[in-house]
Amino acid sequence: MERICLFPGTFDPITLGHVDIIERAISLFDKLVIGIGTNSSKQPMFTLEQRTGWIKEIFRNDPRLEVAAYDGLTVDYCKKINAQYILRGIRYVSDFEYEKAIADMNRMLAPDIETIFLTCAPLYSTISSTLVRDVIRNGGNADMFVPKVVKY
């Protein structure tokens, strides 16, 4: 059976921390789907097309990686694409507590889908899309936090 993993998020924008997690996770699976989820409570700074384009450009040479947009429950999308795993990145203990609650809920909804946690490299532990958006919104230079393809 092909090992398919979904890495869900808004990737608004994709950061070097996301790239670190993706690059380290790709060898663990036959296919890694970067799922850009729609969150009704969030208004993204960047369009879905921008975010999708950036990810496709960054990973254009790796056929094991796909990018897709989805809405609704993450576990329902996993079922749709036959993903047996959900990947989540962890920076701090507080991330783990939040992510574990989500993983527990997902396990109750879909016991056959396993959540995998990877910690990001220490170099990227302070980078979050929220903080990067704040830097950009306030006219700062966010180049050190995002891949070169990200234009803002």
Residue 101 lies in a domain: yes
Residue 9: phi, psi to the nearest 5? Answer: 175, 175
| Backbone dihedral region for residue 11 (phi beyond 0: left; psi -120 to 50: alpha; all else: beta) | left
pLDDT at residue 79, rounded to an integer: 98
Provide mean pLDDT across the span 4-21.
97
Residue 129 lies in a domain: yes
pLDDT tens digits, one per residue of 67-125: 999 999 999 999 999 999 999 999 988 889 999 999 999 999 999 999 999 999 999 99
Based on DSSP, count helices (H) and strands (E) in the chain, helices before strands.
5, 5
Give the CATH number of the domain where residue 22 resides. Answer: 3.40.50.620
What residues make up the domain containing 43? 4-137
Residue 110 lies in a domain: yes
Average pLDDT, the chain: 95
Residue 151 lies in a domain: no
Give catalytic residue positions: 18, 42, 91, 129
Residue 145 lies in a domain: no
pLDDT at residue 42, rounded to an integer: 75
- The total number of structural domains that make up the chain: 1
Residue 81 lies in a domain: yes
Q: How far apart are CA 101 and CA 88, in angstroms?
A: 12
pLDDT tens digits, one per residue of 33-65: 999 998 777 789 999 999 999 999 999 999 999
Provide mean pLDDT across the span 128-143.
96
Residue 143 lies in a domain: no
Residue 45 lies in a domain: yes
